[in-house]
Chain A
Amino acid sequence: MQIKNYRDFWAGILFMAFGLAFVLYARDYSMGTAAKMGPAYFPTMLGGLLFVLGGVITLLGLGRSDKPVTVDPTGWREIGLILLAVIAFGIALPTMGIIVAIALLIWIASPASHEFKVRDTLIATIVLMALSYFVFVKGLELQFPFLPKFLDR
């Protein structure tokens, strides 16, 4: 068995996995009948449909080809840093306040760019901190601490 389109192949696998997961998870709930649909009814139908569609997509990706369509390489560094930055922001915000959260987000995320420059990032940090203070803290009065809790009187 050969694969002629890796993108289709993997997309199909992913859809099948999701379809199956929903069908299996829906078994926790009651199915009901068409006239009295239970909470599992519609999700099970859809999950089955997704499984079938995923299967067809995977099959379409199979076949012989001299030049198979491949999936572009994964940018682990970019994904890792961006997601890490968002997670750090989320963890820091409730206790450490917006100023620390901004610093963490910007300095974790920025090196993901291949043209990262310390000076530019420093300026961006200061500008964004000031902007956030005026727009989100003063202007929109969003509910989060400004400084770390132990510093805030």
Chain B
Amino acid sequence: METLLSNLALGFSAAATAQNLLYCFIGVTLGTLIGVLPGIGPLATIAMLLPATYKMTDPTSALIMLAGIYYGAQYGGSTTAILVNLPGESSSVVTTLDGYQMARRGRAGPALAVAAVASFFAGTVATFLIAAFAPPLAEVAFKFGPAEYFSLMVLGLIAAVVLAHGSIIKALAMVVLGLLLGMIGTDVNSGVARFSFDLPELSDGIEFVAVAMGMFGFAEIILNLEQRENREVFTSKVGGLLPSGEEIKQSVGPVIRGTMLGSFLGILPGGGAVLSSFSAYALEKKISKTPERFGKGAIEGVAGPEAANNSGAQTSFIPMLTLGIPTTPVMALMVAAMMIHNIQPGPQVMTSNPTLFWGLIASMWVGNLMLVILNLPLIGLWIKLLSVPYRVLFPAILLFCAIGAYSINNNVFDVFMTIPFAILGYLFKKFDCEPAPLLLGFVLGKLMEEYLRRALTISRGDPTVFFTRPLSATLLAIAAVLLVLVFLPAISKKREEAFQED
């Protein structure tokens, strides 16, 4: 407990410098600003703004700003969901259900306020959870050899597939394709430039940002343009922000339950925030005495999922910070950002860069506080932003993405690289394949190969090493159980229900 407090004190002293407070503020503001725009989720937002942090000399500030962008965008997505019935990102899909209905009844203000306060509460709890659980987890991570790391990544990818929605076998194929695309570039061991088509730019591999922008940014824009529907914005009827006494009473339980559920699910690999919000909604509906109110503007349906997706978004930092393994595409971007600043994510970060580690954690709380303070008074501004028509918005998004891709290496090659991924992302969407698993595989590809190589070198080519080492065997067993479970008819039906939007 004492070390926890002294660690947090160190963190707050790092996060509360004028410079870092400023970066946190910029991050949260920019994140919300772009996150509010419909059709761009946190991933595209971070990818777009990542280049802005390249020039920063202090990696702590860079990460603090990126983290700020992340939960800013997350929060901005909820605002859009409530006001336009258009989820900014997949984790706020459920918020559209009751949030938008509240807006139609003239209760948009309270819905937004409850979402903000629920997120803040969840963020506070999640910050402490990270501070409490990260050190012991990192201890475990130090016992990991290559075999354990490999098995852990297998588990991570399998869990990501199981927790994602849609067809499991397609998601598996997407993961494998991602791993393969990650192989492109120079093989660290032999120095051979693999699958590079003799292009010198490809010898360093494909830029993650180009993949993310093509598949999430551009493909999404094309698909949005194809659907020629007009959206309705509730700009005039936002009304007062203060929820009524009854609304507050109804929200307390869902917020607490949502926070707990989200914190737990967020640690699991693969779209923690999405699953958290869906499950929190299902839970609230199930235990409610008046389930018929859900879908018609029940405040519980906003409070629970909003708390859950925020705590889930934050606890998803735990595996990234302690094991160095990104479990969501957003965390993969965080890893990319750390690498740019020459920090290899993993359990050693806590001891080698304690200021960065604890500073980042403390900044999460600071950022959440800023979000509440910033968002409630600025809701009017976000509404104005929402009334900007998509016909003007999408060229701007396109432009920022293109400039972002260029600025990775100051080379137009990365701009052109987004094209094949835009086409691929578009095709996969048409074929009902979720792009997120591909991105995870893409990030983990080279790491997995390296750990597999080391494990097999140590065991002299004996593959049983993965099953004879107890920790590795346990991890693989969990992965196997997950896969078997999800193919059982009873469970697969439940899983489909969990992702049903009603």
Q: How far is the CA of A71 from the CA of B432 in the complex (A)?
A: 9
Cβ < 8 Å to B, chain A residues 25-63: 25-26, 29-30, 33-39, 42-43, 46-47, 49-50, 53-54, 56-57, 60
Given contacts A11-B428, A117-B391, contact A83 B419 (CB under 8 A): yes
Q: Which residue among A10, A37, A98, A128 has the maximum number of chain B CB atoms within 10 Å of its CB?
A: A37
Contacts of A74 in B (CB 8 A): 430
Contacts of A2 in B (CB 8 A): none
Given contacts A29-B194, A39-B187, A140-B51, contact A113 B394 (CB under 8 A): yes
Q: Is the CB of A72 within 8 A of B416?
A: no
Q: How far is the CA of A10 from the CA of B187 in the complex (A)?
A: 31
Q: How far is the CA of A102 from the CA of B395 in the complex (A)?
A: 9
Given contacts A82-B221, A109-B395, contact A25 B169 (CB under 8 A): no
Q: How far is the CA of A10 from the CA of B428 in the complex (A)?
A: 10
Cβ < 8 Å to A, chain B residues 448-493: 448-449, 452-453, 456-457, 459-463
Contacts of B432 in A (CB 8 A): 7-8, 11
Q: How far is the CA of A98 from the CA of B392 in the complex (A)?
A: 19
Q: Is the CB of A79 within 8 A of B426?
A: yes
B397-419 to A contact mask, C-beta < 8 Å, 1/0: 01100110011001010011011
Given contacts A7-B432, A83-B422, A115-B391, contact A37 B452 (CB under 8 A): yes
Contacts of A25 in B (CB 8 A): 195
A121–chain B nearest beta-carbon distance, Å: 7
Q: How far is the CA of A120 from the CA of B195 in the complex (A)?
A: 44
Chain A positions within 8 Å of B, measured between CB atoms, are 7-8, 10-11, 14-15, 18-19, 22, 25-26, 29-30, 33-39, 42-43, 46-47, 49-50, 53-54, 56-57, 60, 71-72, 74-75, 78-79, 82-83, 85-87, 89-91, 93-94, 98, 102, 105-106, 109-110, 112-117, 120-121, 123-124, 128, 132, 136, 140-144
Given contacts A11-B433, A113-B225, A140-B51, contact A128 B194 (CB under 8 A): no
Q: How far is the CA of A35 from the CA of B455 in the complex (A)?
A: 9
Q: Is the CB of A124 within 8 A of B422?
A: no
Q: Is the CB of B192 within 8 A of A39?
A: yes
Query: CB-nearest residue of chain B relative to A56?
Result: B169
Chain B positions within 8 Å of A, measured between CB atoms, are 51-52, 55, 167, 169-170, 172-173, 176-177, 179-180, 183, 187, 189-190, 192, 194-195, 218, 221-222, 225-226, 228, 389-392, 394-396, 398-399, 402-403, 406-407, 410, 412, 415-416, 418-419, 422-423, 426-428, 430-433, 448-449, 452-453, 456-457, 459-463
B434–chain A nearest beta-carbon distance, Å: 11
Contacts of B222 in A (CB 8 A): 75, 78-79, 82, 112
Q: Which residue among A35, A53, A90, A141 has the maximum number of chain B CB atoms within 10 Å of its CB?
A: A90
Q: Which residue among B169, B176, B390, B394 has the maximum number of chain A CB atoms within 10 Å of its CB?
A: B176
B169–chain A nearest beta-carbon distance, Å: 6
Q: Is the CB of A109 within 8 A of B398?
A: yes
Q: Is the CB of A50 within 8 A of B176?
A: yes
Q: How far is the CA of A47 from the CA of B52 in the complex (A)?
A: 36
Q: Is the CB of B187 within 8 A of A35?
A: no
Q: Given contacts A29-B190, A140-B52, list 19 more A-B pairs with CB under 8 A.
A: A22-B195, A35-B460, A37-B456, A38-B190, A46-B179, A49-B176, A60-B169, A82-B218, A82-B221, A82-B222, A82-B398, A83-B423, A86-B416, A87-B416, A106-B395, A112-B394, A121-B392, A124-B395, A136-B407
23 A-B residue pairings within 8 Å (CB atoms):
A8-B431, A11-B428, A22-B183, A22-B195, A29-B187, A33-B461, A39-B187, A42-B183, A74-B430, A82-B221, A83-B218, A83-B423, A86-B419, A93-B415, A106-B399, A110-B391, A112-B394, A117-B391, A120-B389, A123-B392, A140-B55, A140-B407, A141-B55
Q: How far is the CA of A89 from the CA of B452 in the complex (A)?
A: 41
Q: Is the CB of A86 within 8 A of B176?
A: no
Contacts of B412 in A (CB 8 A): 90-91, 93-94
Contacts of A78 in B (CB 8 A): 222, 225-226
Tell me which of A11, A82, A102 contacts B225 (CB under 8 A).
A82
B429–chain A nearest beta-carbon distance, Å: 9
A113–chain B nearest beta-carbon distance, Å: 4
Contacts of A14 in B (CB 8 A): 427, 431
Q: Is the CB of A47 within 8 A of B180?
A: yes
Q: Which residue among A34, A60, A94, A128 has the maximum number of chain B CB atoms within 10 Å of its CB?
A: A34
Tell me which of B177, B431, B452 contacts A71 (CB under 8 A).
B431
Q: How far is the CA of A124 from the CA of B427 in the complex (A)?
A: 30
Q: How far is the CA of A11 from the CA of B457 in the complex (A)?
A: 36
Q: How far is the CA of A14 from the CA of B431 in the complex (A)?
A: 10
Tell me which of B176, B190, B221, B453 contacts A30 (CB under 8 A).
B190
B125–chain A nearest beta-carbon distance, Å: 36
Q: How far is the CA of A151 from the CA of B176 in the complex (A)?
A: 49
Contacts of A121 in B (CB 8 A): 391-392, 395
Tell me which of B398, B407, B422, B430 contacts A105 (CB under 8 A).
B398
Q: How far is the CA of A46 from the CA of B184 in the complex (A)?
A: 13
Contacts of B406 in A (CB 8 A): 90, 93, 142, 144
Q: Is the CB of A54 within 8 A of B173?
A: yes
Contacts of A54 in B (CB 8 A): 173
Contacts of A102 in B (CB 8 A): 399
Q: Is the CB of B419 within 8 A of A124?
A: no
B80–chain A nearest beta-carbon distance, Å: 19
Tell me which of B180, B228, B391, B461 contacts A43 (CB under 8 A).
B180
Tell me which of A7, A39, A132, A144 contacts B430 (CB under 8 A).
A7
Complex A-B, nearest 3 residue pairs according to Cβ-Cβ distance, in ascending order:
A35-B461, A34-B461, A11-B431
Query: CB-nearest residue of chain A relative to B225?
Result: A78
Q: How far is the CA of A75 from the CA of B177 in the complex (A)?
A: 25
A54–chain B nearest beta-carbon distance, Å: 6
